[in-house]
Amino acid sequence: MESHIASQIAVERPRARPSVRALTVLSLGPLALVAGIAWAILQPYRVTLLHPHGQGFWWLVVEPPLLLMLVGILFHFLVAPGVVDDLEEGDGTAG
């Protein structure tokens, strides 16, 4: 008896290193997070959480540095993995 099942399964080997484009996409989220932190440090008056006197809920939550940090985190965990997968698939078919 001969079995062709083991020989027909395609083994996908992981890449040794991600491409420069993939690393660039993966670094965008952390860079946005660092930029938001730097913005909050350099312009602390923009973050009214530090001095919330007379401010409403939305004024406290919707702060540009906080939104930039949130966007960086969401991009890194929700968008970047899919984009990197697409880039790696494109690199595999081009070569």
Is residue 2 domain-resident? no
The pLDDT of residue 95 is above 50: no
Q: Quick: pLDDT tens for 46-90.
A: 777 766 777 777 777 788 898 999 999 999 999 999 999 999 888
Structural tokens at position 77: 């965990």
pLDDT of residue 5: 60
Is residue 66 domain-resident? yes
State pTM to two decimals.
Answer: 0.71
Q: Is the separation of the CB atoms in 46 and 65 below 8 Å?
A: yes
Is residue 11 domain-resident? no
Is residue 12 domain-resident? no
Is residue 46 domain-resident? yes
Structural domain count of the chain: 1
Which residues form the domain of 50? Answer: 19-94
Q: Quick: pLDDT tens for 5-21.
A: 655 666 666 656 888 99
Is residue 1 domain-resident? no
Is residue 9 domain-resident? no
pLDDT of residue 14: 65
Is residue 47 domain-resident? yes
- Work out the burial of residue 42: count CB atoms within 10 Å of its CB; fewer than 13 is exposed, 13-18 middle, 19 or more buried: exposed
